[in-house]
Amino acid sequence: MLGKTAVEVRADGVAVVTINNPPLNLLSVDGIFYSVDLSSYFVLSCSVHDYSPTDAWNYQLVILSLKESIEGALIRDDVKAIVITGSRGKFSAGFNVTAFGGTQGKMTKMELGFMSIQIVTDTLEAARKPFVAAIEGPAFGGGLEIALACHARISTSSAQLGLTELQYGILPGLGGTQRLPRLVGLSKALEMILMSKRVDGKEARILSLVDTIAPADKFLEVACQWALDIVERRRPWVISLYRTDKLESLAEARAILKSARLEVQGQNPNVVHPLVCIDVIEQGIVSSPRKALRKEAEALQELRQSSTCRSLVHVFFAQRQIFKIPVISKMNLLPRKIVKVAVVGGGLMSSEIATMLVLSNYQVILKETNKKHLIDAISIVEENLQNRVKNGRATQEGLEKSLSLLEGVLDYGKFKDVDLVIEAESESLSLKQEIFSNLEKCCPLHCIFTSNISTFSVKLVGERTKSQHRIAGIHFFCLSPVMPLMEIVHTESTSPQVIVDLIDFGRKMRKTPIMVSDWKGYSVTSMLLTYLHVAVLLAERGVDVYRIDQALKSFGMQVGPFRMIDMVGLQIFVVISKKFVESLPDRSYKPHLIPILQQDNREGERSGKGFYNYDNCGKVSPDPELSEYMKTARDASNVTIDSKLTKLSDSEMVEMILFPALNEACRMISDGVVIRSSDLDVASVLGMGFPAYRGGIIYWSDSFGSKYICSRLENWSKAYGGFFQPCNYIMERSAKNISLTSETRQAKSQL
Ligand SMILES: C[C@H](O)CC(=O)SCCNC(=O)CCNC(=O)[C@H](O)C(C)(C)COP(=O)(O)OP(=O)(O)OC[C@H]1O[C@@H](n2cnc3c(N)ncnc32)[C@H](O)[C@@H]1OP(=O)(O)O
């Protein structure tokens, strides 16, 4: 039965309690437990079985089944110690997060307090028999918190441990705020909790989060022996909640908490849950951990109903949906191994792609036709890798290993064992078609041919081959090395196997791959470009560049648009913009300012100057000289300062810059470019730096409604041209007053 925990009492007197709620042994199956008033139940009864009318939900709430199992083991005379583990190699991935973000149910403040205090603290941690957690696979959120309350933890080296609750806008609710700092020290605990950081068993051992690591075939045995050793007093019986030896002194702790508060306020000024979490941790340190447990439960009850929580839970599930490709997912195809990748073309983009590939341990052939261009391209890869060493993200040894994976070539001689080709040549259809014909002649039959950013449809690029089934597009997002997004462009002929291979390739590159249809060469990149273009339009009409960046940062974007252009590099921005402007002139803005900056070698962060100044220590500062460039750009293009725009409030500015990007996103939904609208929420978060706590760009639109968005775009389009013209999707929905997130009548993607 779902949600059951199994108990096996061994001959040596150890009861092994196994959480058995496959596939991830979540502690609850769904949000149902929030619709039950547990507080009144637990006042009446302490046994799950006494509560017969809702026996079914008892098993929905796995933690109650766990409580029953451990209470059963505690009263048995033949049980000396208890080991808690999870079935099928997974300890527990914590609570089902669908239970969070809703406002349903009558959960009172007592309920999570009950679980945290009566079950985890008073039944488990305070038991007269020792508990040991045997951890394999994931131990996240509430799963790890149960392990923290055990008197010792044994894990495999590949186990994954973390208190990931802040990722959902809540805080650890089963005592994690109190026990983790006491086990690993306050600094480390804050780092793990505030960043929802996951560590493997090896790192957990270094942190003293686990007591020892053991091989997968022995860890349960080791845990049982450890439990018996505690009984025999050969190992310490440690109650985490009252440990103080790992905690910093009170003065140090206060200083650490103060700087953590400043940091989270600086990073995320619009969310409260990290600050609430720090308050709860502090209370445990300066007052009493038990009082803090109650505060933790109350805070969880409050936070789980917030819009931040709802948005973050939406993003969590949207991210998981992305990997589900209707039809193909059901085929159960396994990805083929990609070992060697060829990059064709020696421009800046090819060097960036080659850098990412060697960093992901792929063997790489970089092909150019011109020797000098090849040498230049390889030196850019070297420079990229050197920069990683300089800023401490890699070692010299790592750099040498990465470089050893790269080989520059001038012909196709070494393509006979290549598994994947990424063509990144300049924008000439005939050149691209010729390259694809050559690839067909020189590469093995299984090799996948892809084209990187192109204004031409992928189908057209591969037209002269007989290999349509193995042709696709790969778009690395502009900020490729930093943005964890990758687009896979499929045609109607791309085979399901190739799609599965490319999704796996994306995952191995640590990117989230989003599927888009081969549609006139425009894709998610156009959403980002529109956002950047409007920002430039406003700046050229007199709005201060740094004010624009600050307004967008305050809204929650990871970086403002001009800082982002500097990070991408003006050269790459121009290359991508040019294609966008050429193919969609009515939907793009041709920036006048950028070429003027480039004339003075202001190429962005890489050159030390762009919209900002960058010093050698990585300090970024506004440049007072920028206003001169602005003036020159205005004079050269006859653009004048627009007092209406310079008087925009910050929130009006945010809308004016983000609604056109939303407009682009809506076009992609209605044209069936993406599989589902939530894919664009993920794309905006991972590709544009849109704040996840606002749920992504489409989800966010619900806070305005289609009518408002449409009317704003219409007004701007009257004043500033077709660039702002709302698409049919928005106009139709506005006319009917339907939300932009509603899936009704959404055009179907080809997949
Ligand atoms: C009170 C407490 O303090 C609060 C909490 O416990 S909050 C919960 C903390 N837990 C987490 O953050 C774990 C989140 N999950 C994960 O990171 C990953 O699922 C994992 C690393 C555990 C496994 O990854 P992987 O093997 O790739 O499986 P994945 O596809 O992600 O998940 C399998 C299914 O479980 C679902 N799932 C995973 N974790 C879930 C969770 N915590 N709640 C609800 N559903 C979850 C996924 O959506 C997916 O559903 P689907 O099959 O319908 O698409």
Q: What's the pLDDT band for 749 if we cut at 50, 70, 90?
A: low
**Any idea what DSSP says for residue 393?**
S
Q: Residue 474: name the closest of 496, 458, 456 by CA.
A: 458
Q: What is the mean pLDDT of residues 229-246?
A: 97
DSSP state letters, 6-44: EEEE-TTSEEEEEEE-TTTT-SBSSGGGGGS-HHHHHHH
- Has residue 3 got a pLDDT over 60? no
pLDDT at 46 over 50: no
Q: Partners of 154 in the beta sheet?
A: 134, 212
Residues 306 and 385 sit within 8 Å (Cβ to Cβ): no
DSSP strand pairing (620-622 vs 612-614): antiparallel
pLDDT at site 383: 92
Nearest CA to ligand 1 atom 46: 96
Nearest CA to ligand 1 atom 9: 141
- Amino acid occupying residue 587: R
8-state DSSP, 647: T
60-82 tens-digit pLDDT: 578 889 999 999 999 999 999 99
Q: Is the pLDDT of residue 52 over 80?
A: no
Ligand 1 pocket, residue 91 CB under 6 Å: no
pLDDT at 567 exceeding the cut of 50: yes
97-114: pLDDT as tens digits: 987 876 544 454 446 667
Residue 660 CA to ligand 1 centre (angstroms)? 34
Ligand 1 contacts CB of residue 98 (under 6 A)? yes
- CB-based contact 381:356 (threshold 8 Å): no
Q: Which of 319, 695, 750, 680 is nearest to 506 (CA)?
A: 319
Describe the crossing of helices 348-359 and 371-390 by its angle, rounded to 10 degrees. 50
Query: How many alpha carbons fall within 13 Å on the CB side of residue 35?
Result: 9
Residue 573 confidence (pLDDT):
87
Which residues neighbour 372 within 8 Å (Cβ) at sequence distance 6 or greater? none
Distances (CA, A) of 180 to 116, 477, 478, 658: 14, 37, 39, 40
140 lines ligand 1 (CB under 6 A): yes
Of 50-54, 194-198, 665-669, 676-680, highest mean pLDDT: 194-198
Distance between CA atoms of residues 268 and 184, nearest Å = 25
CB 354 within 8 A of CB 423: no
Task: Say what the pLDDT of residue 684 is.
Answer: 94
Q: Taking 90 as the threshold, does the pLDDT of residue 620 lie above it?
A: yes
Tell me what pLDDT residue 520 has. Answer: 59
Share of the chain above pLDDT 90, in %: 74
For ligand 1, atom 18: residue with the closest CA:
93
101 lines ligand 1 (CB under 6 A): no
**What does the pLDDT read at residue 105?**
46
Q: Residue 316 C-alpha to ligand 1 middle, in angstroms?
A: 9
Q: Which amino acid is at 433?
A: Q
pLDDT confidence of residue 521: 56
SS3 481: coil
93 CA → ligand 1 middle, Å: 6
User: What are the CA-CA distances from residue 635 to residues 546, 548, 575 (Å)?
Assistant: 21, 21, 24
- Measured by CA distance, the residue closest to atom 52 of ligand 1 is 320
Distance, in Å, from the CA atom of 663 to the CA atom of 658, rounded to the nearest integer, reads: 9
**Four-residue CA torsion sign, 247, 249, 252, 258:** positive
Ligand 1 centroid, distance to 416 Cα (angstroms): 41
Asked whether 174 lines ligand 1 (CB < 6 A), one says: yes
338 Cα–ligand 1 center, Å: 28
* Residue 751: predicted pLDDT: 64
CA of 699 to the centre of ligand 1 (A): 21
Residue 478: band (very low, low, confident or very high) from pLDDT cuts 50, 70, 90:
low
Residues 6 or more apart whose Cβ sits within 8 Å of residue 647: none
Q: Averaged over 541-561, what is the pLDDT?
A: 96
Whether residue 201 contacts residue 135, with contact meaning beta carbons closer than 8 Å, is answered with yes
CA distance 107 to 116: 15
Of all protein residues, whose CA lies closest to atom 1 belonging to ligand 1? 173
Instruction: Give the angle subtended at the CA of 173 by the CAs of 298 and 119, to the nearest 5°.
Output: 100
Task: Burial-class residue 270 by CB neighbours within 10 Å (0-12, 13-18, 19+).
Answer: exposed
Q: Which own/partner pairs from 546-552 qualify as long-range (CB within 8 Å, at least 24 positions apart)?
A: 546/622, 547/653, 548/653, 548/657, 550/650, 551/650, 551/653, 551/654, 552/653, 552/654, 552/657
Neighbouring C-beta atoms of residue 629, cutoff 10 Å: 19
Question: What DSSP assignment string belongs to 151-202?
Answer: SEEEE-TT-EEE--GGGGT----SSHHHHHHHHH-HHHHHHHHHTT--EEHH
Ligand 1 atom at shortest distance from the alpha carbon of 300: 1
Identify the DSSP state of 548.
H
Q: Three-class SS string for 363-375? A: EEEEECCCHHHHH
184 lines ligand 1 (CB under 6 A): no
Does the beta carbon of 94 sit less than 6 angstroms from any atom of ligand 1? yes
Q: Summarize the confidence of residues 212-220 as an average pLDDT.
A: 97
Contact between 407 and 343 (Cβ < 8 Å): no
Q: Are strands 620-622 and 340-344 parallel, antiparallel or unpaired?
A: unpaired
416 lines ligand 1 (CB under 6 A): no
316 CB less than 6 Å from ligand 1? no
pLDDT digits (tens, 9 = 90+) for 716-738: 999 998 889 999 999 999 999 99
446 CA to centre of ligand 1 in angstroms: 34
Instruction: Write phi, then psi, for 475 (nearest 5 degrees).
Output: -110, 115
Residue 698 · residue 662 · CB < 8 Å: yes
CA of residue 31 to ligand 1 center, whole Å? 14
Tell me what pLDDT residue 159 has.
98
pLDDT over 50 (residue 190) = yes
Q: Give the span between the Cα atoms of 365 and 415, in whole angstroms.
A: 8
Catalytic: 145? yes
pLDDT of residue 326: 83
CA 120 – CA 151 distance, rounded (Å):
12
CA dihedral 162, 166, 170, 176 (to 10 degrees): 40
Question: Of the residues 68, 165, 352, 423, which is catalytic?
Answer: 165
- Phi and psi at residue 423, to the nearest 5°: -90, 125
**pLDDT value of residue 111:** 64
Q: pLDDT grade, residue 750 (50/70/90)?
A: low
Cβ of 95 below 6 Å from ligand 1? yes
Nearest CA to ligand 1 atom 31: 320
> What's the pLDDT at 455?
67
In the chain, pLDDT over 70 holds for what percent of residues? Answer: 91
Query: With left for phi above 0 and alpha for psi between -120 and 50, is residue 386 left, alpha or beta?
Result: alpha
Q: How many CB atoms lie within 10 A of CB 431?
A: 15
In this predicted structure, the answer to whether residue 209 has a pLDDT above a threshold of 90 is yes
State how far the Cα of 730 lies from the Cα of 222, in Å rounded to an integer.
61
Q: How far is the CA of 556 from the centre of ligand 1 (A)?
A: 26
- pLDDT of the residue at 329: 82
Contacts of 183 (CB under 8 A, 6+ apart): 148, 189, 207, 208, 209, 240, 243, 246
Decide whether any atom of ligand 1 lies within 6 Å of the 695 Cβ: no
Q: Which atom of ligand 1 is nearest to the CA of 316?
A: 48
pLDDT average, residue stretch 358-378: 95
Question: With bands split at pLDDT 50, 70 and 90, how would you rate the model's confidence at 638?
Answer: confident
Are 165 and 141 a contacting pair, CB within 8 Å?
A: yes
Does residue 477 have a pLDDT over 80?
A: no
Average pLDDT, the chain: 89
Residue 408 Cβ < 6 Å to ligand 1: no
Q: How would residue 261 be classed by pLDDT, with cut points 50, 70 and 90?
A: very high
State yes or no: ipTM above 0.85: yes
pLDDT digits (tens, 9 = 90+) for 128-152: 999 999 999 999 999 999 999 999 9
From the candidates 68, 136, 145, 540, give the one annotated as an active-site residue.
145
Does 210 score more than 90 pLDDT? yes
The pLDDT of residue 748 is 58
Q: Is the pLDDT of residue 416 over 80?
A: yes
